[in-house]
Amino acid sequence: MEGNKTTFNSIDEYISQFPPDIQDILQRLRAVIKEAAPEAQEKISYQMPTFTLHGNLVHFAAHKNHIGFYPAPSGIEAFKDRLSEYKGAKGSVQFPIERPLPYGLVKDIVKFRVEENVKLTEEKLKKKK
């Protein structure tokens, strides 16, 4: 039953549902992403905060015991050594709430994803010519 599902219209709305300590983490994560990708647009996609630039860039979400970060499989693969201490899957990583988030690593991953999306867009444009 999906009757109890909340629909979010903005990242602010999404973040506001959490306790203050989690809101602080999410706001800092958001700021780090914005700093690494200043041209990226914010939106809600899959009911998660999402940043887009020439397509999806990254998503994030708060869960009971971790912050999920979703930089696509390429973002995980490119940083697998630095992400090895965290649980994750093909396109996601779980940062435990009880540990400080690795904001520097997040910034590096976002920058990588920006470069990747820009390059893919440029390649598509070249093929059309």
- pLDDT tens string 41-96: 999 999 999 999 999 999 999 999 999 999 999 999 999 999 999 999 999 999 99
Which residues are bridge partners to 44 per DSSP?
A: 49
Give me the DSSP letters along 29-49: HHHHHHHH-TTPEEEEETTEE
* Domain membership flag for residue 2: no
pLDDT in the model for residue 121? 87
Residue 114 lies in a domain: yes
CATH at residue 94 = 3.90.1150.200
Q: Which residues contact 6 (CB under 8 A, 6 or more apart)?
A: 17, 47
List the one residue out of 68, 56, 57 whose CA is nearest residue 22: 68
Report yes or no on 99 lying in a domain. yes
Q: Is residue 15 part of a domain?
A: yes
pTM of the model: 0.91
pLDDT-derived band at 1, boundaries 50, 70, 90: very low
For residue 1, the 8-state DSSP code is: -
Could you list the residue range(s) of the whole structural domain that residue 118 is in? 11-128
Domain-located, residue 3? no
Any domain includes 63: yes
**Nearest CA among 50, 60, 59 for reference residue 25:** 60
* Residue ranges in the chain assigned as alpha helix (H): 11-16, 20-36, 72-78, 80-83, 103-128
- Give domain status of residue 6, yes or no: no
Domain count, the chain: 1
**44 lies in a domain?**
yes
